[in-house]
Amino acid sequence: MIEVVRPGPLATVQDLGRPGLAHLGVPHSGAADERALRLANRLVGNPEDAACVEFTFGGGSMRFHRAAWAAVTGAPLPVCVDGRAQGTNAPFHVRRGGVLELGTPARGLRSYLAVRGGITADRALGSRSTDLLSGLGPAPLSAGVRLPVGASTELGAITVDVAPAPRMHETPILRVLAGPRSDWFTEDAMATLTSAPYQVSPDSNRVGVRLDGPPLTRSRDGELGSEGMVTGSIQVPPSGLPIVFLADHPTTGGYPVVAVLASVSVPDAAQLRPGQHVRFRT
Amino acid sequence: MRVLRAGDTALLVETGDLAAAHRLNAALREAAWPGVVDVVPGEQTVLVVADPAADLDRLAARLPDLPVPADAEGGAEPVEIPVLYDGEDLDEVARLTGLSRDEVVRRHASAAYTVAYLGFSPGFGYLTGLDPALHVARRESPRTAVPAGSVAIAGPYAAVYPSRSPGGWRLLGRSRAPLWDVTREPPSLLRPGTRVRFVPEEPS
């Protein structure tokens, strides 16, 4: 069992979410940076879909009531166990009673703590993920919450010392594909989206990254009927300022989608922090 | 049928209308193609989300040949939702529509509805079929908390709030029907295409 000493600005339990229920209005949810969650699990010998703790902007601290192997991936940040520095993207051992402390990431936003055996908080609709849009899954973590950890006896050996760290650029460039409603916009809109830098707005969250920058102009008026939305959809509300949907996005929406992130760029979008600039290219 | 790309893992199929979207949705669920992760009907579309490893071109090519049922619901009886018509906005809806309170209730309870699609929150179905005389705009300032089971209307839609949430729809009454239960399989009483009738209930 691990106990939350301090959650930092926001910490939630996440696994690979609730696919297959979108037609019932259930968001996909799950780790915003799925790539980092999978890596964290592999590093400690867990199945890739085991639940981890997703820390937003670091700052968390956890007490281990049982000795365990653990790993931290995603936004790189200082990791200390009982006052001793540990690297990210590498498994490390925490003794019984040991305290893990996370600093603030220099780049990126979300870091993942995997514990060998996986976090075994209660499942809702097949997943342990906290969905901040619908309220499904465990509540965001608060000091004193104890998280159960699963058995590790059946797991494979830990075989990797350190994994290559993903590079997090000062101004990331995300790949986009024309969206299903790109024809609702002027020809300039796609050119604007893929040339001007956009700035990440402070009201971004796990639902979506809101962007400030040149507005995208529609070529037709009228209402689009509500339609299904995928993670990575770049939706454009009447303000013209794009919103990039992340894991907790609503399952349907009525604003046209001008472009969709290539799936390889979705984890990069999940690491954008407020105030940061981002560019898009096709 | 027009098949659009929604990124590199999904297709957005334009069906032209809601009934065709429901038929395609039913056909895709029945077919249960490997590699299809989510099938999400909208007002005139069906979103088909695939596994990243799936071949989208092949999926798109197979779609036109998929046998589609004549009736998405297979002739199923409508779901009956009991309603106690004592909603906070009943008087206001009466005023906005120029109808009496009783007439608002009568019209709401006599229409045949179909769940167009779900969204907003888990189990929240947008029901089409609302009497055009009852099409009223949503409230200018949404309530911060609408109780679960609230029976409401906004624009061309009717709905029942499956769980407590903020909301700007006009409240006509409340229902004890279990719209949403995470421990039930399926958790939602309503699915896209489900037919619905509201049945007035006397206060006990």
Which of A24, A180, A257 faces B123 most closely, judged by CB atoms?
Answer: A24
Same domain, A138 and A183: no
CA separation for the pair B14, A37 (Å, rounded): 35
Q: How many domains would you assign to chain A?
A: 2
Give pLDDT, residue A159: 86
A8 & A132 share domain: yes
pLDDT at residue number A73? 98
Burial class (CB in 10 A: 0-12, 13-18, 19+), A121: buried
Q: What is the pLDDT of residue B74?
A: 77
- E strand or H helix at A36: helix A34-43
What b/e sequence results for B126-139 when a residue is b if at least 16 CB atoms lie within 10 Å of its CB, and e otherwise?
bbbbbbeebebeeb
- Is residue A161 situated within a structural domain? no
Residue A239 touches partner B, C-beta closer than 8 Å: no
Mean pLDDT of A252-276: 96
Whether residue A271 contacts residue B17, with contact meaning beta carbons closer than 8 Å, is answered with: no
Of B40, B45, B124, the CB nearest to A22: B40
In whole angstroms, what is the distance from residue B190 CA to residue B67 CA? 24
Q: Which of B37, B42, B118 sits opposite A25 (nearest CB)?
A: B118
Q: Which of B173, B104, B170 is nearest to B142 (CA)?
A: B170
Cβ under 8 Å to B: A residues 13-52: 19-26, 28
Contacts of A20 in chain B (CB under 8 A): 37-38
The list of chain B residues with pLDDT below 70 reads none
Q: Are both A134 and A184 inside the same structural domain? A: no
Instruction: Please check whether residue A76 touches B, CB under 8 A.
Output: no
pLDDT given for residue A262 in this prediction: 98
Partners of A125 on chain B (C-beta within 8 Å) are 182, 187
Residue A126 within a domain:
yes
Task: Map residue A51 onto helix, strand or coil.
Answer: strand
The domain that holds A117 is classified in CATH as 2.60.120
Both tokens of B43, joined, read 């007002």
For residue B3, which residues of chain A lie inside 8 Å, CB to CB?
A: none
Interface of A with B in 178-217 (CB under 8 A): 178-180
Distance CA A180, CA A224 (A): 12
**What is the C-alpha separation between A165 and A73, in angstroms, rounded?**
8
Return the residue in A129, A227, A261, A282 with the most chain B beta carbons within 10 A, the one to mutate for interface testing: A227
- pTM for the model: 0.95
Neighbours of A162 (CB within 10 A): 12
CATH number 2.40.100.10 is the correct assignment for the domain at B79-200: yes
Q: Which chain B residue shows the shortest CA-CA distance from A178?
A: B7
Both A29 and A101 in a single domain?
yes
Q: Tokens 């929604």 sit at which residue?
A: B6
Answer yes or no: do A91 and A208 share one domain: no
Chain B residue whose CA is closest to A124: B182
pLDDT at position A142 is: 98
Spatial CA neighbour of B196 closest among B109, B94, B87 = B109
- For the segment A84-104, the average pLDDT, to the nearest whole number, is 97
Q: How confident is the model at residue A167 (pLDDT cuts 50, 70, 90)?
A: confident
| pLDDT (tens digit per residue) in A193-250 | 999 999 999 999 999 999 999 999 999 888 888 999 999 999 999 999 999 999 999 9
Same domain, A202 and A131: no
Could you write out the DSSP letters of every residue in chain B?
Answer: -EEEE-TTSEEEEE-SSHHHHHHHHHHHHHH--TTEEEEEE-SSEEEEEE-TTS-HHHHHHHGGGS---SSTTTTPPPEEEEEB---TTHHHHHHHHT--HHHHHHHHHHS-EEEEEE-SSTT-EEEE---GGG-BPPPSS-EEEE-TTEEEEEBTEEEE-SS-EEE-SEEEEE--S--B-TTSSSSBS--TT-EEEEEE----
B38 → closest Cβ in A19, A135, A136: A19
Strand partners, B161: none
Chain A to chain B Cβ contacts (< 8 Å): 120
Mutate to test the interface with B, among A28, A48, A174, A226 (most CBs of B within 10 A): A226
Task: Answer yes or no: is A154 within a domain.
Answer: no
Contact A225 B45 (CB under 8 A): yes
Across A187-198, average pLDDT: 95
User: pLDDT tens for residues A39-52?
Assistant: 999 999 999 999 99
Average pLDDT on A17-38 reads 97
| For residue A191, pLDDT beyond 90 | yes
- Report pLDDT for A134: 93
Instruction: Determine the Cα–Cα distance for residues A82 and A63; give it in Å rounded to an integer.
Output: 10
What rounded mean pLDDT belongs to chain A?
Answer: 96
What residues of chain B lie within 8 A of the CB of A29, using their CB?
none
CA distance A18 to chain B (A): 10
Q: Is residue A35 part of a domain?
A: yes
CATH of B2-65, one of 3.40.50.620, 3.30.1360.40, 3.40.50.2000, 3.30.390.30: 3.30.1360.40
Cβ atoms of B110 and B173 closer than 8 Å: no
Name the residue facing B119 among A21, A230, A252 (closest C-beta).
A252
CA distances from B29 to A220, B8, B22, B49 (A): 34, 21, 11, 12
User: Do A190 and A236 reside in the same domain of the chain?
Assistant: yes
Determine, yes or no, domain membership for A195.
yes
CB contact under 8 A, A20 and B38: yes
Taking the CA of residue B191 and the nearest CA in chain A, the distance in Å comes to 6
Chain B residues whose C-beta sits inside 8 Å of any chain A C-beta: 4-10, 12, 25, 37-47, 49, 52, 117-126, 163, 182, 186-188, 191-192
Q: Map out the domains of chain B as residue ranges.
A: 2-65, 79-200
Looking at the domain assignment, is residue A19 inside a domain?
Answer: yes
> What are the pLDDT digits (tens) for B99-142?
999 999 999 999 999 999 999 899 999 999 999 999 999 998 89
- Using an 8 Å CB-CB cutoff, list chain B residues near A260: 5-8, 10
Does residue A147 contact residue A53 with C-beta atoms inside 8 Å?
A: yes
Residue span of the structural domain in which A273 resides:
173-281
Domains B2-65 and B79-200 alike in fold: no
**Shortest CB distance from A25 goes to which of B5, B39, B120?**
B120
Say if residues B81 and B175 touch (Cβ distance below 8 Å).
yes
Cα distance from B63 to chain A (closest Cα, Å)? 17
A193: helix, coil or strand? helix
Look up the ipTM and state it: 0.95
Residue closest to B115 by CA, chosen among B42, B50, B176, B172 = B42
- pLDDT for A153: 87
Given an 8 Å threshold on Cβ–Cβ distance, is A225 in contact with B44?
A: yes
Please tell me whether residues A117 and A68 are part of one structural domain: yes
| Tokens 């940076």, located at residue | A33
- Residue A162 in domain: no
Query: What does the pLDDT read at residue B163?
Result: 94
Chain B residue with CA closest to A229: the answer is B47
- Does residue A165 fall inside a structural domain? no
Hey, CA dihedral for A104, A106, A111, A113, is it positive or negative? negative
Instruction: With beta carbons under 8 A apart, name residues in chain A contacting B39.
Output: 23
**Which of B43, B164, B183 is the best residue to mutate to test the A interface, defined by the most A CB atoms within 10 Å of its own CB?**
B43
Q: In CATH, what number is assigned to the domain containing residue A250?
A: 2.40.100.10
